[in-house]
Structure 1
Amino acid sequence: MEKEAAYWNKALTVEERVEDLLGRMTLKEKVGQVNQHMYGWNAYKRTADGIELTEAFKSEVAFGDGMGALYGLFRADPWSAVTYENGITAANSAKAANAVQRYVRENTRLGIPVLLSEECPHGHQALDGTLIPTNIGIGSTWNTELMERVYGHVAAEIRARGAHVGLISTLDVLREPRWGRSEECYGEDPYLAARMTTSAVRGLQGSTPEELRQPDRIAALLKHFVAQGAALGGRNSGPAGIGERELREIHLPGMQAGVRAGAQGCMAAYNEIDGIPCHANKQLLTGILREEWGFEGIVMADGVAIDRLLSMTGDYESAAALALSAGVDLSLWDTSFTTLEAAVEAGKADPALLDRAVRRVLKLKFELGLFDNPFTDENIASEKVGSEAFRLDNLQAARESIVLLKNEGALLPLGKQYRRIAVIGPNADNIYNQLGDYTSTQPPGKGATVLEGIRRIAPAGTEIVYAPGSGIRSGTPEQLREALDVAAGADVVVLAIGGSSTRNFDIRFDTNGAAITTSGAPSEMDCGEGVDVADLRLGEPQRELARRIAELGKPVVGVVVQGRPHALTDIDPLCGALLCAWYPGQEGGQAVGEILFGHVNPSGKLAVSLPRSSGQLPVYYNYKDGGSRPGYFDLTGNPLYTFGHGLSYTSFACEGLVLQPAAISAEELEQGERVSVKVTVRNTGGTAGQEVVQLYVKDLEASVTRPVTELKGFSKVMLQPGESREVVLELGLEELAIWTADMAFKAEPGNVRITVGGSQAGDCTANLKITRGTV
C-alpha cells in the first residue's frame, strides 16, 4: 500500500485526493472499483472462532486488485440462506466488516477501502436488524418528521455494524397495485412520495455533507430510477407505457427531491421506457439526473441488469460499454462490468467514461471518511442495534401507519362489555406476515403479532380465544370449523386477514432473489418481488372464512394486514369496523391492540386508493379530468376507499381559509415568491387525536389537461378536545407550475382552486389567481 501518496493526505480536498489516486491506478484497478460482483454472504464463513474470509472473497479482491463495493455482507433471508446458525449477528458484525477492510488494505497495492452496501427498504435486512413498517404504511403516516427520526435509527444501526450504503426503495410510485412490489411504494401520489423521500435521505445521511462522516450516518442509495411502479400489467420489470409528461409529473419528482436532499446514490430500474432500458438510457441517467438536476452521486445497477442488455448488444463487453456510456457507475452481480478491461482494450468502451465512473465511486468513499478510517468501533453495535429509542419510534410509526377505514355505530374502540373476544384469521399470529418482503430471519419472541398485541392491551378479565381459520391462499374444512366454533361463543370477532410477503425455504428463487412461482400453483405468499397477481381479491379461503364468520351475527372488526391495496369489496360489508394495517413491522401487533381498545387514536390516511376490483384499474385519485371519473357499464369507476381517507375516534373541522396573497404573478413565482395558505383546524370531538390537514389544487385554466385534483401540501397536527390551531402551508413554483404543451415547467396565468381539509373533499376552498404581470 502506498502510504505516503497524496491521496492519504487529509489536508487536501476530496477532489484533489480523488485525482491523485486516479492518476496512480492501472486499468485493472479502475475496473475493480466499479465492480460489485459477489454476494456478500459468500465472503465469509462461520467458524468456531468467529468469522473467516473465504477464498471466493480473496479471489474477488485479486480480480481488480481491490474491490469497489461488497453487497449484502450482513444480509439474512431465505434467498441468502443466512440464519442465526451461519450468519453474522449484530455483536460480531463490526469485526466482520473490519476484517474485510483490513484484508483489502493489507493485500492490495493502493489499499482503497471497500464500500459495504446493505438493503434497508424497511429497516436493515440483517440478523438482529430492526424492521419498521413497509413503505406503503410509512406513506400512510403522513408524518415526515417522525419518519426522519426512524430512518436516522436505521442509519445508526447499519453504520454501527460497519456498512456505509443503504439501498432503500423510495422512488416507485404505486399506479399498478397488481405489482408485487407495491409494498415498497410510499403511495400513488408523487408529492407525498417526494416528501417521504426527503425524510429518508435526511434521516439516513443527515442534512449536511459533513454529517455523512458521522458514525451514525450512511449514504442513501435510492431505488428504482425510474417508473418501475408503472410496469405494464403489473408485471415485475415490465415496460413502463408512459410518455414524457407522465414521467416528469408522476415518476421523477421523488428522485428530484432526493437529489435536492443530497442523496449520494440511486439504482437504475429494471424496466424500459419507450423502448430504452433504464440501464442504457443516457437521457435519464445523464441528461435529466446529472445535467438537468446536478446530481453528483453514484448510479448503481440493479442485480444482473447490465447483463440483460445482451439482447441489444450481443456480448458482455458491449453491454458494459452501453451502460457505462448511459451513466451507470457501479455494477451489481453482473458479468458485463467484469469485462470492462477487455472492453477498453478492444476499443468498445471509452476509458474516459470508465475514469468518470471511478471518480464517482472514489469520491463517495472519501466523503464517507473511509480513507481516513475504514474501521468501525466493535462495541458500538450493541448500543445502537435494537435500541429502546428506536423501538419507541418504530412503535409510533406503526400506530400512525394504521388507517381506520370504517367504524359503523362506533364499534371501535372496543369497550369493556366485550368479555370474550375471538381473534380469527391467518394474519393474527404470524410475525412474518406483518413484516413484508426483504425481511431478515427473525429470532423467536421478537416483536408482537396482532394476537399478542390484543392480549397485552385487552382489559383485565377479558378472555381472548384464537383460531387461524384458514391460510392466506389455502384452507381446510377443519380449520374453518375450528374458527367457527371459537367465534360462536364470543361477544365480538377480530378478523385478522389480508396478504403475506413471507418467503420460506420451500420456495425456489431466481438469481435476483425473486420467488419463482408457477401459474396456478398454491402459495401462501401473495405479495413481494416477483409475486405479481391478476386478481386483487383475498384468497378464496379467507373470503369464505369472512362470510361464515359474519353469518354468526357477531360484531366483526376487520384488521387487514397487507402489502398491496387488495380489493375488499366482498369483505367490507361483513365488517362493522375495518382497519387497514398494511405491513406494520415488528411493533405492529402492539399498535393494532392499542388502537382496537382506544389506547391510541388512529391517525393514518390512505396513501393509495383501495380498488373495488382488478378490472377497475387504474383507480388512483389524480386521474385526468374528463368531466367525471370514467366508469363502466357494470361497475362504478370510484374506488372503495380513496387516497387521503382515514377516520378517527374524534372529529375535526377546518375553517377560515385565507390565501396571502390571493393573486400572484407567474413572474413572481419564478422569482421564488410563495403563497401562504392559512387555515384553522379544530378538534370538534371528545378525544385527543391527530389530523392530517391536506391541501389540494385544481388548475382550472391550463394549456394541457390536468388531473381533477393534486395533493400539494399537508401537515399533521395533534389536538386536544376543543383545541384549535392555525396551520400554514405554502405554495410556490414547484407546486403551481405544470409541464406545458411545449414541455416547459412554468406557472401559467389562470385560476387555481385550492381545497383544504382532512380529506380530498376538503372543508373549505378558495381561488388563487395567477396573473401575467406583477400584481
Structure 2
Amino acid sequence: MFSTSERRLALKAQATNILLFIIASGLLSACSESANQTVSSTTSTEKQALSLEGRDAKVYWPNANTKLKRDPAVEKQVADILASMTLEQKVAQMIQPEIGYLTLEQMRKYGFGSYLNGGNTAPYGNKTATPQEWLKFADEMYEASTDDSLDGSKIPAIWGTDAMHGHSNVSGTTLFPHNIGLGAMNNPEHIRKIGDATAKEVAVTGIEWSFAPTVAVVQDDRWGRTYESYSEKPEIVKAYATAMVEGIQGEIGVDFLQGYRRIATAKHFVGDGGTLNGIDRGDTIASEEAMRDIHAAGYFTAIEAGVQSVMASFNSWKGKRLHGHKYLLTDVLKEQMGFDGFVVSDWNGHKFVDGCDLEQCANAINAGVDVLMVPEHYEAFYHNTVAQVKSGEIPMSRIDDAVTRFLRAKVRWGLFEKGKPSTRILANDLSVFGAKPHRELARQAVRESLVLLKNNQQILPLNPKQKILIAGDAADNMAKQAGGWSVSWQGTDNTNEDFPGATTVYAGLKNAIEQAGGKVEFDVAGNYQTKPDVAVVVIGEPPYAEWFGDIQYIEYQKQNKADLALLKKLKADGIPVVTVFISGRPLWMNKEINMSDAFVAAWLPGSEGQGVADVILAKANGDINYDFKGKLSFSWPKYDNQVILNPHDENYDPLFAYGFGLTYQDKVELAKLDETSRVKLQKSTNMGYALFYRQLAPELNWVLGDKTNWSVIVNGPAGTTENSDNLTVQGINLAYQEDARRFVWSGGADASAKLAYNGQQDMTEFVEADSVFNFDLRIDKAASDKVTMGLFCQAEQTGCAGEVDITDFVNQQKVGHWVNVSVDVSCLAGTDKVSSVKTAWKLQTAGELGLAVSNLAIQKTDGKKAQFSVCN
C-alpha cells in the first residue's frame, strides 16, 4: 500500500524520532549526533518528495454524495437570503469567534454566523455551569445575532462545541469511552445509539453543532490525539463514520436534521493521523493513494451519510498546510467527492498558511475554507477580509459560495423556523441529560471495549466473595478515566467532583464486591491491613489533549517506573495481580505485563467505570457475568522501538496483533516477555533545550508565590492561585491554543512567577560556552516597581545563579506586542551554579505588572548578541 520511498522514510523516522520531532514542530528538545547523521543521509529523491505541495498524477477520488439530493425549496430559500445580504453580512457569516472573547454587544454589532466554546471555556466563565446556564447563554447569543438594529441582519448564529465522547464539555453529562475504546467494540450499531444519545444531551443545552466525529486513521501512536481515532485500519473508521453521523444528524430520508438532531462534523480533513513521528499539526508525506484509501476513508462514508460540516486539518501534506490546500479542499473534497456542506477551519488553523497571520488569511478562504474559526482576533479578521474582497484578493464568487454552503446547512437544519434555543425540542429537558438509558449505553460500551491481553492461570473472572485489594492512582480518578476533552480541554485540572453522576472503576468494583459478600480494601500505594486474596491495580496515562499528548517514547513511564514498582511490591508479597490499564494508546510495557497475572486494556472508559467490574468479576455464584468482547483496533508493540506498527507494514511483528483479544473460553498462557529496552533517552546537543514550547517539559511546573506561600503549583494548562490576590496566571494563545501564559501582579506584595522542577535538576549539559536563555514576551501593563528576572535558582527565593533587572526594558515595550528576550548565560558553563537547579526561571516584582510569556528555551547564540547577560 505504501511506496518503497515511503517505507524508507518511515524507517528513518523511527531511527531519528527526536531530531525529526524538532524539525517538524520547531521544538528545541534533545537529539543525538547519530540522529543528525541519519537525517543528513536522506536521499535527494526523498527530499524532493518531502517538498512536494501538489497532487500526484491521475488519482481518482470517487463521488460520495450519492444519497443527499438538493431540495429546490432549500436552494431557493438560500439564494433569496444571499441576494438580500451585504458584503459585510456575508463575511460575518464566515467568522466564528470563541465565547471567552465574544460579547453579546459584539455579536449584536457584527452578526457572526457562528461561535464556539473552546475546551477550557464554559458560559459565564463557570467550568461546571449547569445545562440551564448553557441554554441561557445560547438564548442570549441567539437574540443578539438576530437583533438587526446595528448590523441589519436577522440570520441566527449557531453554536459549535466539541461533543467528543458525549456532550463532553458539560459537567454531569454521560461520557462515553473515547474513540479508541469504541473502536475495540467493532459495533457500528452501538455507535449509532451513542451518536443519538449525544445529540439529545447536546439538544438540552440549546447547542446546534457538534465538532464530531473524528475520523482520523492513526498510523503512529505517539500522536497526542491517538485516542480520538477509532482504529489504525480504515475499515472500522468507515463503518463508524456512517453510524456516528447518522446518530447525530439522523438518517437521510427518515429523520435527517429533524427534531433533536444536530449538525455533525467529520474531522480533520485530511491526513491528521499520518504525520511524521506522530507530531500533532506536523507533515504527512503519504502518497495520494494512501491519503485517499487510508486517511480519507471515513470521509467517503460520512459524506454519503450527509454530514454537513468537514473541519480542515492542522497538518500539512508534503509541506503544504491543509488549511491552504485548494486541491484537497476544493478540487477533491467539494468537486470530486461531491461534498456540498461547508468546510470549517480548526482553532486559528489559518495562521499557519503561507501569507497569513492571526488577523487575515485570503489564502485559506480562496483554498476552500468556508467558516473561519477565529477565536480571539475575529474583529480584525472581519475587517481585513472585507477589505480583501473589495481589493479583489478574494473573489466575490468565493464569498458567495462559502456563505451559500453555510446557509444551506442552516436551512436544512430548520434554523429559521425553530426559534430561540430554549423553545426547541428537548431544550432544558433534564430527564435526558445524563439519563440512565444513556449511562447504560456508556456502561455497555465500556464492557465491550475492554480487551483482555493476558489471563494466566485463568485468574479472571475474579470471585467477588474474596478479599480484594484495589490499588493504583487511576482506580478512583475520574480525570484519568475520562482523559482529555472532558469538562476541560486537557482534563488535568479535573477532580471527581467535576463529574457528578459518574462512577470510578474503584467505586464500581467496591459496589459489586460488597453486594456479593466480598471484602474490599483500597489504597493507591498498595498498602493493606489484611493480606488480600488478589489485587486489582488500576494504572495509566495522565490526561492530555492534542499536542500535550505527543510523546517521543512508547515505553510506559520510561523515566519513572512508579507503577512497575507497585506491581513488583504486590508480587513480592505473593499476591496475584490483575492490572487494568487506562490509556489513550497502546504502549510498550512488557515489564508491567510480566508483573501481572492478568492484563486488561481499558482505554479511556469515560463516566461509567462500573463497566469494568461487570466483566472482570464473576457473579456471586461463580458464573461468568459478562465475557470480554473487545478486540484490538490498534496493534500492541512487542519492542519499544516499534513506533510505527500497522498491519500493512513490512516485517509486521507486534506483541498482540490487530484484532487480538482473549475471552474466558481461551486457555492461553503468556510466556515472560522480553524486557530489553532498545531506545535510550536522548541527550541535548546544540539544538537546545525547551522548557516551555507549546507545553511544559514534563519535569517542570508553573509555580506562583508571595510571602504567604512561595510555591503554589498551578495545575492544568491554566489556573489561578488561591493563596494570594497578588498574582494570577491564565493560559492564552500565541501560535497555538494555550501555548503562552499571562501573569498579572496586583501590587499588593512581592510576588513571583516561576518555572520550577519537581525536584532538583542538573543543567550542566544544557548550559554551555555559547548558551542563551530565550523567551517571547508581551507587556500588557507597565511595571510600577522594580522587576527582576532570576535564572537557575537553587532555593525558593535565594541563590539564583543569575539575576537581571529588566524594569527599564519592560517599560520601554509597546503594550500588546510580542518581542524576543535573550539572556547570555555562557559564563555559567562548567560551574556548580547550574548543577542543582530548583527553579529554571522566575520573574518577581512588588508592584503592578501585566505580561505574557511563551517559548522559553536554552539554546545556542548563533552569533547573535543577547539583550541581557548574567556574565557582567
Give the alignment's TM-score, normalised by structure 2.
0.63
Provide the C-alpha distance between the structure 2 equivalents of 1:561 and 1:24, rounded to a whole number of angstroms.
Answer: 54
Q: Which of 424, 436, 451 does residue 483 from structure 2 map onto?
A: 436
Alignment partner for residue 29 of structure 1, among 89, 96, 99?
A: 89
Letter aligned with residue 537 of structure 2: L
Query: What is the Cα deviation at residue 12 of structure 1?
Result: 7.7
Alignment-derived partner of residue 278 in structure 2: 234
Alignment partner for residue 623 of structure 1, among 625, 633, 649?
Answer: 649
1:585 aligns with 2:641: no
Partner of 1:90: 131
1:421, CA displacement in angstroms?
0.8
| 1:110 pairs with one of 136, 146, 153 | 153
Structural mapping, 1:180-195, within 5 Å:
180-195=224-239
Aligned to 2:517: 461
- 1:603 paired residue number: 629
Contact 1:169–1:185 (CA under 8 A) maintained in structure 2: no
Alignment correspondent of 1:99: 140
- Could you tell me how far 1:83 is from its partner in structure 2? 9.0
TM-score (norm 1): 0.70
Classify the secondary structure of the residue corresponding to 1:94: helix
- Separation in structure 2 between the aligned mates of residue 407 and residue 314 of structure 1, nearest angstrom: 55
> Which residue of the other structure, out of 587, 596, 600, is the alignment partner of 1:575?
596
* 3-state DSSP of counterpart to 2:637: coil
CA distance 1:42–1:341, change in 2 (3 Å) = closer
- TM-aligned CA distance change 1:487 to 1:225, over 3 Å: farther
Residue identity matched to 2:635:
S
1:284 partnered with 2:302: no
Structure 1: runs of 5+ lacking an equivalent: 1-10, 44-55, 470-482, 502-524, 630-636, 653-775
Work out the CA distance in 2 between the residues paired with 1:314 and 1:287: 21
1: CA distance between counterparts of 2:199 and 2:407? 21
Cα offset, 1:237, TM superposition: 0.7
* 1:354-377 alpha-carbon deviations (Å, 9 max, x no partner): 111011111111111011123234
Deviation at residue 95 of structure 1 after TM alignment: 3.1
Offset of 1:41 from its aligned partner? 4.2
Which residue does the alignment assign to 1:394?
442
Q: Structure 1 segments of 4 or more deviating over 6 A?
A: 81-84
CA distance in 2, matches of 1:387, 1:445: 12
Q: Secondary structure at the match of 1:116?
A: strand
SS, match of residue 446 in structure 1: coil
Q: State the SS of the aligned residue for 2:372.
A: coil
Task: Judge conservation of contact 1:113–1:374 (CA < 8 Å) in 2.
Answer: no
Distance 1:85 1:101 in 2: 20
Matched-pair contact (CA < 8 Å) for 1:160–1:376: no
> Conserved in 1, the CA contact under 8 Å of 2:220 and 2:278?
yes
User: What residue number does 1:324 align with?
Assistant: 365
Look up the equivalent residue of 2:470 and give its one-letter code: V
Partner in structure 1 of residue 532 of structure 2: 490
Question: In the TM superposition, what is the alpha-carbon distance from 1:281 to its structure 2 partner?
Answer: 0.9
Distance apart, 1:146 and its partner CA: 1.0
Mapped contact 1:422–1:493 kept (Cα < 8 A):
yes
Aligned residue type for 2:273: G
Alignment of 1:526-565 (within 5 A): 528-539=546-557, 540-565=561-586
How far the C-alpha of 1:385 sits from its partner, in A, is 1.0
Alignment equivalent of 1:446, drawn from 492, 501, 519: 501
Q: How many residues align?
A: 570
Cα distance in 2 for residues equivalent to 1:433 and 1:315: 36
Alignment of 1:367 with 2:412, yes or no, is yes
Closer, same or farther: CA 651–293 of 1 in aligned 2, 3 Å: same
Which residue identity does 2:436 align to in structure 1? E
Q: Distance in 1 between matches of 2:632 and 2:358?
A: 45
Q: Which residue of 2 aligns with 1:413?
A: 461
618, 633, 639: which one aligns with 1:613: 639
CA deviation string 1:293-339 (max 9, x = no partner): 11101100000011222xx216678x622111211000112647422
2:99 counterpart residue number: 40
- Alpha-carbon separation, structure 2, partners of 1:580 and 1:494: 13
Deviation at 1:149, TM superposition (A): 0.6
Q: Is the 8 A contact 2:615 2:628 kept in 1?
A: no
- Taking the aligned partners of 1:196 and 1:390, their CA distance within structure 2 comes to 18
Q: Does structure 2 retain, via aligned residues, the 8 Å contact 1:602–1:648?
A: yes
Structure 1 residues 70 and 587, CA gap change in structure 2 (3 angstroms): same
Matched, 1:170 2:214: yes
Which residue number corresponds to residue 643 of structure 1? 658
Return the letter of the residue paired with 1:386: G
Distance 1:587 1:400 in 2: 13
Tell which deviates more after alignment, 119-128 or 141-150.
Answer: 119-128
Residue 265 of structure 2 aligns to a residue whose secondary structure is strand
Is the contact between residue 321 and residue 352 of structure 2 (CA under 8 Å) also seen in structure 1? no
- The separation in 2 between residues aligned to 1:26 and 1:431, in whole angstroms, is 49
- Amino acid in structure 2 at the alignment position of 1:639: P
Contact map agreement 2:128 2:487 (CA 8 A) in 1: no
Other structure's SS at 2:153 match: coil
The 3 A distance-change label for structure 1 pair 105 and 210 is farther
> C-alpha deviations, 1:586-612, integer Å up to 9, x for none?
012343454333421111111101113
Contact 1:496-1:560 at 8 Å conserved across structures:
yes
Q: 1:593 to 1:488 in 2, by over 3 A?
A: farther
- 1:428 CA displacement: 0.7
- AA aligned to 1:570 is K
CA distance in structure 1 between the partners assigned to 2:113 and 2:662 by the alignment:
49
Quickly say closer, same or farther: Cα 1:209–1:345, change in 2 above 3 A. Answer: farther
Q: What amino acid is the match of 1:281? A: H
* Cα deviation code 1:205-231 (max 9, x no counterpart): 111166344232001111111111112
Residue 730 of structure 1 is matched in structure 2 by none
Q: Is the 8 A contact 2:222 2:643 kept in 1?
A: no
Against the structure 1 CA distance between its residues 69 and 644, is the aligned structure 2 distance closer, same or farther, given a 3 Å change threshold?
same
Aligned to 1:661: none
* C-alpha distance 587-497 of structure 1, shift in aligned 2 (>3 A): same
Work out the CA distance in 2 between the residues paired with 1:389 and 1:594.
19
Separation (CA, whole Å) in 2 of partners of 1:352 and 1:23: 13
One-letter code of the match for 1:91? Q
Looking at structure 2, the residues matched to 298 and 398 of structure 1 have their Cα atoms a distance apart, in angstroms, of 34
The residue that corresponds to 1:68 in the other structure is 113
Q: Does the C-alpha gap of structure 1 residues 345 and 71 become closer, same or farther in structure 2, counting only changes over 3 Å?
A: same
Q: Any unmatched runs of 5+ in structure 2?
A: 1-70, 489-496, 619-623, 668-872
Distance in 2 (CA, whole Å) between partners of 1:332 and 1:315 is 13
- Cα separation, partners in 2 of 1:266 and 1:487, compared to 1, 3 Å: farther
What is the percent sequence identity of the aligned residues? Answer: 30
Report if the CA contact (8 A) 1:304-1:333 is conserved.
Answer: yes
> How many angstroms does 1:346 deviate by?
1.8
Q: Is the 8 A contact 2:165 2:176 kept in 1?
A: yes
The alpha carbon displacement at 1:562 in A equals 0.8
Contact kept, 8 Å, 1:431 with 1:449, in 2: the verdict is yes
User: Contact between 2:210 and 2:264, CA under 8 Å: does it hold in 1?
Assistant: yes
Aligned to 1:507: none
Equivalent residue number for residue 354 of structure 1: 399
State the 1:348 CA deviation: 1.1
Structure 1 residues 244 and 114: CA distance shift in structure 2, 3 A: same
**Residues 83 and 32 of structure 1: is their aligned pair in 2 closer, same or farther, counting only changes over 3 Å?**
closer
CA distance in 2 between partners of 1:224 and 1:247 (Å):
12
Describe the shift of the 1:307–1:427 C-alpha distance in structure 2 as closer, same or farther (beyond 3 A): same
CA contact (8 A) 2:184 2:630 kept: yes
The one-character-per-residue Cα deviations of 1:120-172 (angstroms, maximum 9, x if unpaired) are 11111223322110000010111110110111000111123211111014221
SS, match of residue 581 in structure 1: strand
1:361 match: secondary structure: helix
Q: How far apart are the structure 2 equivalents of 1:42 and 1:160?
A: 24
Amino acid at match of 2:504: T
